[in-house]
Amino acid sequence: MSARKVYVLNGPNLGRLGSREPDVYGATSYAGLVEQCTVLGKELGFDVDVRETNDEGEMIRWLHEAADGSIPVVINPGAFTHYSYGMRDAASQRTAPLIEVHISNPHAREQFRHTSVIAEVASGTIAGFGLGSYRLALRALAEEL
């Protein structure tokens, strides 16, 4: 039996993990995140495809691709979380579970970060556990699927 495809989608500035505000986002690089998701995914029976973009349109196209293929998604929309209604509309078309993740706890940060336009169309949200948020999301997908 082949592994189930899962997308792990990352929004703006997440490719700068390890150098961007390590006190908030940790010292692990983006490559380290990719490796963690890929290794755990394999253990859970997933073929994990980790992607990162600073482009809202590209993220929307990936969400359409996931919806068309019934591919489960773990998504860290980054700053798009708070204002991208186009991304929210794309996420609402999901045909498989979609879990929103955040490395930090948005509710413990600046006021503008307290609102997620993605949360109401997601299966669930996991935030505040560092890169562990991704691991928790992948484990949640394994249980849900």
Give per-residue pLDDT as tens, 98-135: 999 998 877 766 676 678 899 999 999 999 999 999 99
Residue 89 annotated as lining a ligand binding site:
yes
Work out the pLDDT band at 83, boundaries 50, 70, 90: confident
State how many domains the chain has. Answer: 1
Least confident of 75-79, 91-95, 111-115: 111-115
77 token code pair: 């929309």
Beta bridge partners of 76: 10
What are the E-state strand segments in the chain?
A: 4-10, 46-52, 73-76, 98-102, 124-127
To the question of whether residue 55 is assigned a binding role by annotation, the answer is: no
Model confidence pTM above 0.75: yes
| Residue 82 burial by Cβ neighbours in a 10 Å radius (0-12, 13-18, 19+) | middle
Which pLDDT does position 23 carry in this prediction? 67
Question: Is 134 a residue of the active site?
Answer: no
Known binding residue 113? Answer is yes
- 129: domain CATH number is 3.40.50.9100
pLDDT tens-digit readout, 59-75: 999 999 999 999 999 99
Domain interval for residue 51: 4-144
64 is catalytic: no
**What secondary structure letter does DSSP report for 3?**
P
64, 83, 85, 102: which is the annotated catalytic residue? 102
State the amino acid at position 42 in one-letter form: K
The response to whether 104 counts as a known ligand-binding position is yes
Say what the pLDDT of residue 77 is: 95
pLDDT tens digit sequence for 24-67? 655 667 889 999 999 999 999 999 999 999 999 999 999 999 99
68 marked as part of a ligand binding site: no
Model pLDDT, residue 26: 59
